[in-house]
Amino acid sequence: MTESSLTPVREHNTLRAATSFLLRNSHIVALIVLLAVASLASPYFLGTRNIMNVLRGAAPMLIVSAGMTIVIISRGIDLSVGSILGFSAMLIGVLMPYGAGIAIVAALIGGTILGLINGLLITKLRLQPFIATLAMLIAARGFVYIATDGANIVMRDSPAWFKAIGSGYLWTVPIPVLIAFFVWLYAAYLLSWSRLGRHIYAIGANEEAARLYGIPCDLVKIKVYALAALFSAIAGIIMASRLNVAEPNVGQLMELDAISATLIGGTSLDGGIGGVLGTVFGVLILAVLSNILNLLNISPFVQMVLQGVIIVIAVVMSEMRYRAKS
């Protein structure tokens, strides 16, 4: 044992290094493999237009998942992101007659207030995040149905610039993709470069220690849920603009995809571990998967089965990665 480590066998080390690299970057590898398979399977896949369409479709999910990642790093969960997205889209539809600017501001504020309520329920009433946001998931959707009577609101008088938020382009880049990029950039800054980010990781890993060292845990958590809700509201505005319709069902079940993407990206439900870079890969893996299956005319039901399998594989791999590091 000692001898072999004194005279290292090159192949053995290379193999081990390769294994550890693959393990560390499993989500990157998975995406590359998926892209390769996709370009072989369908000649349309690698076209700029198809790629941009995939990205545009994924943009709201990218934004919502960035918020979900921050919440999960703080050792919480937010089941209400889809409903808050729907709530914000509803506000857009209802308030559009008063002007697109007013509608957007109201959607951002309204969504964030729901997030603040989540945060207050969790910190002041000591509800578990699962319970508080489950209640919000149901109640916020209820509000949407009340306000819309369960029917679509078609926005006939919305200005062109509002429609551009969801369907415009800057050169060849869809505007939703640009918005998602800036939201992602902000989330990455927040988590890695700000004091608040350090505190979010600390609370997720060891809330007792964080409290002991004077970190205002309640305030940090309230900010986390408010931020996740703000991101959902931004995604809601994009969805409403893209369709130019406020659908009462928009965003339904999105929380499950956002949690999936976050977990596939290597963020742990145990808190304190992960980041938004991994989540981008998680979202893209799911988006590309769905695109390939569409291009190949395979049923979306198959996609659901595959997504389940991918989550299991991804979480097992990130557990292995975590153990390999410690």
Partner 1 sequence: MNQAVDAAPILSVREISKSYGGLHAVRQASIDIFAGEVVALVGDNGAGKSSFIKMLSGVMQPDAGSILVGGREMQFHSPADARSAGIETLHQSLGLVDVFDVRENLFLGRELTTTKWGVLPVIDTRAMRRRTEELLARIDLKLPSIDAKVRSMSGGQRQSVAIARLLLEEDVRLLIMDEPMAALGVNEGQKVLQLIDSLRTKGLSTLIISHNLEHVFTVADRIAVMKSGRLIDVVNTREVQHDDIVSMIMTGRPLLAKTAAPA
Of the listed pieces 24-32, 147-155, 193-201, 243-251, which binds partner 1 according to CB under 8 A? 193-201
Binding-site member from 205, 256, 269, 315 for partner 1 (CB under 8 A): 205
Q: How far is the CB of 5 from partner 1 (least distance, A)?
A: 18
- Residues 23, 139: contact at Cβ < 8 Å? no
Stretch that binds partner 1, among 205-213, 257-265, 292-300, 301-309 (CB under 8 A): 205-213
Q: Is 199 in the site for partner 1 (CB under 8 A)?
A: yes
What whole-number distance in Å separates Cα of residue 94 and Cα of residue 240? 11
Three-class DSSP category at 45 = coil
d(CA 323, CA 326): 5
**Residue 182 sits in the site that holds partner 1 (CB under 8 A):** no
Residue 213 near partner 1 by CB under 8 A: yes
CA distance 204 to 74: 4
Using CB under 8 A, pick the residue from 162, 201, 231, 281 that binds partner 1.
Answer: 201
**For the window 214-233, what string marks contact with partner 1 as x by the rule CB under 8 A?**
xx------------------
Q: Which is nearer to partner 1, 104 or 191 (CB)?
A: 191
Rounded alpha-carbon distances, angstroms, from residue 238 to 58, 109, 144, 250, 308:
11, 15, 17, 11, 27
Q: How many CB atoms lie within 10 A of CB 319?
A: 12
Nearer to partner 1, 82 or 274 (CB): 274
Instruction: Please say whether the beta carbons of 168 and 153 come within 8 A.
Output: no
Question: For residue 207, what are the contacts with CB-CB under 8 A and spacing of at least 6?
Answer: 75, 217
Output the smallest distance, CB 73 to partner 1, in A.
10
Q: Pattern 273-292, binding to partner 1, x per CB under 8 A?
A: x-------------------
- Residue from the set 53, 195, 298, 299 that interacts with partner 1 by CB under 8 A: 195
130 within 8 A of 79, measured Cβ to Cβ: yes
Share in percent of the chain as helix, strand, coil (round to 5): 75, 0, 20
Which candidate, 57, 55, 81, places its Cα nearest to that of 67? 81
Q: How far is the CB of 132 from partner 1 (least distance, A)?
A: 25
Is residue 189 part of the contact set for partner 1 (CB under 8 A)? yes
Residues forming contacts to partner 1 in the complex (CB under 8 A) are 189, 193-195, 197-199, 201-202, 205-206, 208-210, 212-215, 272-273, 325-326
